[in-house]
Amino acid sequence: MFAEASLSIWGWGGLGVVLFLITFGPFAIFYLAFYILCFIGGGFVVLLLFGKINSEKHLERCEHSFLPSTQMAILKVLEEIKSESKPIKIDRRLTGSSIIDEPLQQVIQFALRDYIQYWYYTLSDDETFLLEIRQTVQNALVEFSTRSKEVDWQPYFTTRLVDDFATHLRVFRKAQERLNEREDPKQRDAPDELLDSFFEAEVEMERKICRDVVCTSRKDEEGYLRDLCEVLLYLLLPPGDFHDKNMRYFLREVLARGVLLPLINQLSDPDYINQFIIWMIRDSSCNYEAFLNILKLTDKVAELEAVKDKVLEELQYLRSLDTGADDINFIKNQINSLLFVKKVCETRIQRLQSGKEVDALKLAANFGKLCVIPLEHILVHNIALQFFMDYMQPMGGQAILFFWLTVEGYRVTAQQQLEVLQSSQRDGKRQSSQTTKGLLRAAALGVYDQYLSEKASPRVQVDEASVTRLAQKLNKEDPTPEIFDEIQKKVYDMMLRDERFYPSFKQHPLYVRMLAELDMLKEPSFRGSEDGDGESFNGSPTGSINLSLDDLCSGSVDEYAQLHAFISDTADAFLNQLPVAGVCNDHGKTYALYTITVIRKNSDGSEDVWKTYRRYSDFHDFHMRITEQFESLGPILKLPGKKTFNNMDREFLEKRKKDLNAYLQLLLNPEMVKGCPVLIPYVYDFLENKAYSKGKGDFARKVPPLIAKSDIDPEHCRVSAQLDDNVDDNIPLRVMLLLMDEVFDLKERNQWLRRNIKNLLQQLIKATYGDTINRKIVDHVDYMTSPEQVSDYVKRFRDSYWPNGILAETPPRRDKSLRMRTRVAAKTTLLGIMPDELKHIIGAETTRKGILRVFDMFQHQPLNRRLACVFLEGFLETLFPQYKFPELFVKLHSRSPRVLRYSQKLRSLHKR
């Protein structure tokens, strides 16, 4: 039944479909579907329109029933806000000096116009934000100006800057020395290796600071500048402006990326520094000899190629000229000179590319064709004598050499003393001849005891008969300047003829180095054969040349012999019977005198009380004496430092008095006395009521790096750690000693030469009125920081960045050839301004190496960035001395991985 019903449904259904298609056609089904969709869509549209109309009517009824008019209320609020807003008044006073404020206001206006307004007006027409920015900048400038006026800039410019530069040069020199010790030449020439060596040396010196990350990573450098600028904004901005994050971040980005970063980029560009060097020394005439020396010494093929291309260009121009008979000789000379320069460049390029670059000193020594300098000239020239001393020491002849020099010193001193005695007698002045003869006898006996007596060690070995005759003369006769002549002549003959001394010295590498320092060593040159493989030595002619040093000596025999003269020191007058400490004046020099009240308890219960008067220099000498005798006291006892300027200020003297009192109390602490009982006699001698006998000379106290011992490795500390730059107001001498020691690496020379240089510099400063130079330096610093000069700096900055009020375009990067020629020109200029007198004092080769070392230091941009950061940090520490900027810099730079590795290395060494 179910099957029959299903068949019936499908049958009738199929019949209905067939009849529908026959009646309406095959497309009827599509029409039906379309009609159905239209019916449904129309229904939805009618419902939507009906609902919308009813909803609007309902909302309108609700709005009129419960809410006021929205449009009128908003307009009213806007009108009230505009009526309440008042214009911001800008105070145009910034520094208190109108000559500075006027150009500075122009700089602010130009900066706002070109760096802010051009994009801000695309966002809004409201001037309030721009006025707020201007007001905030002006507030910061006012605070900066106020702090600058409170700072004494003289110590910064005369001490801190010099120390930072010299320390940077020391680290660079150490990095070069480490590279030169490597055997692989590719590692020595790789710039990355130099940077690694430099920053390794920096972390060894600074211990907690390394600026490698800041100087080599652009991202880290920007982060460092942002942190620094945020601290500056905290110090310079009013609290309300600083706590406004939007304003603070905006100013931080403008200051860090718009001011400091472009400034560091420009100052660290080697090409910019080279141009600046040429501009600074623009008044000096071109030195053709220095130019040729630079071409012969350079190891950069790019520099030689650039010079060669310029020479070819000039040759082409000269050959194209149509000149008359009058100019033909001049042009021929120019062409010949250019052809010679071209030949020098080609020869040098060939040597560098062929790998035949050799050490000129070794090559000259192998050929043996050297100038022969007589012994008599070596003994009177400071540079030659230095090398001869270095040779004589291992050969066992230093004693006879020192004897000869000491006798020369005695002769000079004796002649001077006798001349003074005769002059005073002619003038009718009373001067005891017995006193003068007694001094000379004591000096002569001192020479005899030190070098010729049986107790002398080492003893000068001469025949006993001559020594006996000399001893008899000293006992029976008054000493004369010529009393040592017989033995001195024998000692001279011994040095001249003994094969161990002068004859062997002429064949020693030290002799070749001596000739190089005297600029008397011909540089070997290669003359290529037709195939370019041949080489020959173009040096001195065959055979020996006896050459005198008269034209090279910068001083006579007397000048150098006086270094070994016996001089009798007389104590300065001592001020006594002063009721209280005060400021005293001795021959125009002002100093402070401190009163020490000493109370000593005796065994019987009684007390001895007395007052002792001491200068700070006495304290300093006493401190040096005991710390040398007892090295363990060095880290414990800290003597308060001196102050270069305003050291007679009452507040400063009061502070120093308290510090000195604390120093003495620590020194006399029972635990200190118990732990070091041997110290008591030194302390008692210092506190006795008598004139204090200094154990150190004045210069020994003032210049520790040259003649005073130190418990610090001088190569692993800042220069200022060795040079007490506050011990004296003699700025020229301090600066010259500091820079010469670092630029020319005088620590490699023997102590005799260093003392010689020190004495010559000291005499030079005194001869040229050192106090006058010192005052001029101080006056010049005051002039540099005067309102007139600051105004000039601002105007120059304005005119360079906005010439004629329009922002200057970024200059295109100069092509490589031009930059290479600028390098050559800068090196030539630096080497050309070095006076011949300097070469005579420290040597020609040392002078060249020192100047080229300074130049090479500026050719590495990351290292220049490091120096710029150091200068900036020193400036901020000077500007804000009351804040802990040194600790901040330690935190910022301790992020370097090198600092972490170095700290771990130190900890591992301590554990061992």
pLDDT score, position 417: 76
Top-confidence range, 14-18, 298-302, 329-333: 298-302
Task: Judge whether residue 869 has pLDDT over 60.
Answer: yes
Q: What is the pLDDT of residues 200-222, one digit of tens each?
A: 999 988 888 999 999 999 999 99
Query: Could you give the CA distance from residue 103 to residue 794 in angstroms, rounded to a whole number?
Result: 6
| pTM of the predicted structure, to 2 decimals | 0.64
Fill in the DSSP letter of residue 258. Answer: I
Q: Are 292 and 273 in contact (CB under 8 A)?
A: no
Look at 523 and 13; give whichever has higher pLDDT: 13
| pLDDT band at residue 418 using 50, 70 and 90 as cut-offs | confident
Digit-coded pLDDT (tens) for 696-722? 444 334 333 322 333 334 555 666 555
Across the range 453-461, mean pLDDT stands at: 83
Nearest to 716 by CA among 211, 200, 212, 215: 200
- 331 pLDDT band, cuts 50/70/90, is confident
Task: Report the C-alpha gap between 19 and 13 in whole angstroms.
Answer: 10
**Mean pLDDT of the chain, nearest integer:** 75
Average pLDDT of 10-19?
A: 78
Residue 781 in tokens: 């610093």
Per the CB < 8 A criterion, the answer to whether 845 and 517 are in contact is yes
For 809, the 3-state DSSP assignment is coil
Task: Specify the DSSP element, H or E, that contains 240.
Answer: helix 239-243
Give the confidence band of 538 by pLDDT, cuts at 50, 70, 90.
very low
Residue 693 confidence class, pLDDT cut points 50, 70, 90: low
Q: Using 50, 70 and 90 to split pLDDT, how confident is the model at 431?
A: low
Q: Which two tokens stand for residue 684?
A: 């008692």
- Contacts with 602 (C-beta within 8 Å, 6 or more apart), sequence order: 608
Exposed e or buried b per residue across 782-802, where buried means at least 16 C-beta atoms within 10 angstroms of its C-beta: eeebeeeebbeebbeebeeeb
Q: What angle do CA 97, 98, 102 make, to 5 degrees?
A: 125
Mutual angle of helices 301-319 and 816-832, in 10-degree steps: 100
Q: Is the dihedral of CA 655, 658, 661, 665 positive or negative?
A: negative
Band (pLDDT 50/70/90 cuts) for residue 863 is very high
Q: Which comes out higher in pLDDT, residue 380 or 547?
A: 380
Percent of all residues in the chain with a pLDDT value above 70, rounded to a whole number:
72
| Edge-to-edge strands, sheet with 607-615 | 582-586, 589-601, 607-615
pLDDT, tens digit, 9 for 90 and up, residues 747-774: 655 555 666 666 666 665 555 555 566 6
Q: By 3-state DSSP, what share of the chain in percent is helix, strand and coil, each rounded to 5?
A: 70, 5, 30
Residue 592, helix vs strand vs coil: strand
Cβ-count burial 59-71 (b if 16+ within 10 Å, e if not): eeeeeeeeeeeee
In the predicted model, is pLDDT for residue 897 greater than 50? yes
Distance CA 220, CA 895 (A): 10
Per-residue confidence band for 264, with pLDDT thresholds at 50, 70 and 90: very high
H or E element: which one contains 625?
Answer: helix 616-629
For residues 383 and 514, the answer to whether their CB atoms sit within 8 Å is: yes
* Distance in angstroms (rounded) separating the CA atoms of residues 240 and 709: 54
Element (H, E) at 677: none
Q: 246 or 635: which carries more pLDDT confidence?
A: 246
Q: Which residues of 346-362 are buried (b: 16+ CB within 10 A; e: fewer)?
A: ebbeebeeeeeeeebbe
SS3 557: helix
User: Can you tell me the distance from the alpha carbon of 849 to that of 842, in angstroms, rounded to the nearest whole number?
Assistant: 11
What is the rounded CA–CA span in Å between residue 621 and residue 626? 9
- Dump pLDDT digits (tens) for 60-103: 766 555 545 555 666 666 666 555 555 556 667 788 788 888 88
Tokens 């560091």 locate to 264
Q: Is the pLDDT of residue 642 over 80?
A: no
* pLDDT band, residue 198 (cuts 50/70/90): very high
Backbone region of residue 4 per phi and psi (left: phi > 0; alpha: psi in -120 to 50; beta: other values): alpha
Q: Which of 67-71, 353-357, 604-608 has the lowest mean pLDDT?
A: 67-71
Phi-psi region of 883 (alpha: psi -120 to 50; beta: other; left: phi over 0): beta
Provide mean pLDDT across the span 469-484.
84
Q: Which amino acid, one-letter code, is at 78?
A: L
CB of 114 closer than 8 Å to CB of 93:
no
Q: Where are the alpha helices (DSSP H) in 689-750?
A: 698-702, 704-707, 731-743
Between 398-426 and 433-451, two packed helices, what is the crossing angle to 10 degrees?
180
Sign of CA dihedral 412, 417, 422, 426: positive
What DSSP state is assigned to residue 628? H
Confidence (pLDDT) at 259: 84
Higher per-residue confidence, 174 vs 646: 174
